Structure formats: C-alpha cells, structure tokens
C-alpha cells in the first residue's frame, strides 16, 4: 500500500494533538495514578508522543531552513535562530516564571536553582526540568549542520543511520555517568533526525510503500531491542506509527477538531502537565471528611483539566507577544 508523505504535513496539527494526548496519558504513570501492572506498561508507552513531536519538528525545521541561505552567517540565519528560539521560549517563559515563583516562595527553591532550571541547563547538569525543551533548543542550535547532512544529500540515509545508532548505543539506560542525564534526552533525537531526512519527500508529496516500511522497521526494531536491551529503540517505529495515525485521523473526522485544539496547545499543555502535576503531587484531597487521595485519580483529573485551561490562555498570550515582535523586527 502506497502512502503519500505530504499527508503528514496536512494533518500536522492533529498529529501534534495525538502526541499531546499520549503524553498526558503517559504522565499518569509518573503522577502515581494507581492502575494494574499491565495497564501501567501500556500507559507508559505513551511516551512515544514526544517522538511524534520530534519527528514533526524535524520536518518543520527542515522546511524553514530550505527557505533561507544557511551558508550566509549573517541576517537570515540569525533571524531564523531568533524566530525558532522565541517560538519555544515565549510559552516556556510565561508558564515557567509562574511555576518557579511558586517554588521559590512556597517550596524553598533557591533563586540560583530557579534560574538554573529556567535556563534549561539543569537537565544537562542534574536531570531536572523540562527535558523536551532542553533537547529541542539544542537540536535547533545544531539544525543548520544537520540540515546539510540530512535534507538533500547523497549519503543522508547513511548519516542518519550512523548518528541514530551511535546515540542508541551511547545513551543506554545503564550508563550511570555524568553523561546519563543528558543521554536521557539525547536518546530521543533520532526521531527529529528522521523528520529532517524525510522533509523533502513530504514537501514533494512522495509516495512510499507503507507495508515495506513497516516490515523493515519492525525487523530493525526487534534486532535493536535484542542487541541493546537497555537502549531506547521506539524511534525506529515512529514513522510507521505516524502513518497509521494519519489513516485513523482521516477516517475519524469527528475527532479532528479536538485533536487540532490539543495540537495548537501542545507545548503549553506539556509544560502545565509537568508543573501542575508537580505542585499537586502528594497533596491530601480531603473533602467533607472523605479522603479522595486514593489512587491519585482526582488529583490527576484536576491536573489535566486545569492544565489544559491554563495552556489555552498561555497560548493566546504567547501568540499575541509573537505577533507584536513580528510587527517590530522579527
């Protein structure tokens, strides 16, 4: 069965929405929501939502870089960096400032620690903070170099394989060294690299054999999981998984509006889910003498609902700020 890769771009918002939903489900595990062992393993696999984000981000970054002269170290590349970083840092700043003010005044987090978290350096130093933001900023910084290797070069699949499998081998879960914190984020990078590698095909609407892609991906995934059991290998199947999602979204038109909404606030909801979950974690929920803390069901329901509401308004404010900046210089 042939699949037109341009559909990934056409349904980008809805795919981001699926990624957001999977991450919210996955974070239930991290927020100690009580569930059967088998279900907890299934829920934990929702972490592939981040790989959907990274794949789509890789495609988008390659798109944008194809419209500028990356060999010009002057204005065009500089403005590209500014736009990309602002796109992440505006919503991150709006939400993080509120979160770290709370942590500073109510949980005795030092000013130095708050600033370290806000800078996104904390993940690379002690494994604390929003790792996805820390990783995507690093990938943005490296993107012009990655673009030259992966977008439209003769050996891009060789470069992709070498970089991806090198990261998979280096970033194993039993590598408890100073590198371990960083490796927990870096091991997800191949999904971003795959996005950059297929971006030109997505732009051109190239068709690929879905059955063959899935077969090869599953073989490579199985061998990699066997040879490197402590490595993160799910990035190998992220593209076939996204294609399956495209088929499902196309045939479930009644959910496209909801998914588009979640996709619109994907970064903000990721952050609010982390921040509000951390603030409410281990709080006692006693109402009229009834202890509702059991299983953390009520707690995480509040995290989800409150998080989505705050994420929506943070997105509105962030967009207004970006529009104002765009009207001035960038």
pTM: 0.90
Lowest mean pLDDT among 3-12, 15-24, 133-142, 177-186: 177-186
Which residues pair with residue 291 across a beta bridge?
286
Confidence bin at 75 (pLDDT 50/70/90): low
The domain ranges of the chain are 2-328
Closest CA to 72 of 169, 144, 126: 144
Percent of the chain residues topping a pLDDT of 70: 89
Give yes or no for a contact between 246 and 11, defined as CB atoms under 8 angstroms apart.
Answer: yes
Cα distance between residue 76 and residue 323, in whole Å? 19
pLDDT tens digits, 33-52: 887 767 777 777 888 999 99
pLDDT tens digits, 278-294: 888 766 766 766 666 67
Mean pLDDT computed over 190-214: 95
Give yes or no for a contact between 125 and 181, defined as CB atoms under 8 angstroms apart.
Answer: yes
Of 3-17, 72-86, 109-123, 219-233, give the range with the top mean pLDDT.
3-17
Higher pLDDT, 176 or 23: 23
Which contacts (CB < 8 Å, 24+ apart) does range 237-240 have?
238/48, 238/51, 238/52, 238/55, 238/191, 238/194, 239/55, 239/194, 239/198, 239/213, 240/210, 240/213, 240/214
């Amino acid at each position: 069965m042939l699949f037109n890769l341009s559909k990934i771009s056409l349904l980008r918002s809805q795919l981001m929405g699926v990624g957001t939903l999977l991450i919210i489900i996955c974070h239930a595990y991290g927020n100690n929501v009580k569930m059967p062992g088998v279900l907890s393993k299934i829920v934990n696999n929702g972490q592939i939502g981040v790989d959907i984000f990274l794949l789509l981000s890789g495609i988008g970054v390659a798109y944008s870089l194809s419209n500028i002269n990356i060999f010009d170290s002057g204005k065009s590349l500089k403005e590209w960096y500014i736009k990309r970083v602002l796109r992440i840092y505006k919503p991150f700043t709006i939400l993080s400032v509120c979160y770290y003010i709370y942590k500073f005044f109510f949980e005795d987090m030092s000013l130095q620690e708050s600033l370290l978290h806000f800078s996104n350096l904390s993940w690379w130093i002690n494994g604390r903070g929003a790792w996805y933001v820390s990783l995507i900023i690093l990938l943005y910084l490296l993107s012009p170099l990655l673009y030259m290797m992966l977008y439209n070069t003769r050996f891009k699949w060789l470069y992709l394989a070498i970089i991806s499998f090198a990261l998979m081998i280096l970033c194993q879960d039993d590598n408890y060294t100073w590198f371990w914190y960083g490796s927990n984020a870096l091991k997800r990078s191949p999904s971003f690299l795959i996005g950059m590698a297929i971006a030109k095909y997505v732009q051109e609407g190239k068709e690929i054999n879905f059955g063959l892609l899935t077969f090869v991906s599953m073989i490579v995934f199985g061998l990699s999981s066997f040879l490197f059991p402590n490595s993160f290998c799910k990035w190998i199947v992220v593209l076939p998984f996204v294609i399956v999602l495209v088929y499902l979204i196309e045939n479930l038109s009644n959910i496209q509006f909801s998914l588009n909404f979640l996709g619109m606030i994907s970064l903000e909801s990721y952050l609010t889910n982390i921040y509000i979950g951390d603030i409410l974690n281990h709080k006692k929920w006693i109402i009229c003498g009834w202890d509702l803390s059991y299983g953390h069901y009520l707690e995480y329901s509040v995290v989800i609902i409150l998080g989505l509401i705050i994420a929506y308004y943070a997105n509105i404010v962030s967009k207004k700020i970006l529009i104002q900046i765009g009207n001035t210089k960038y």
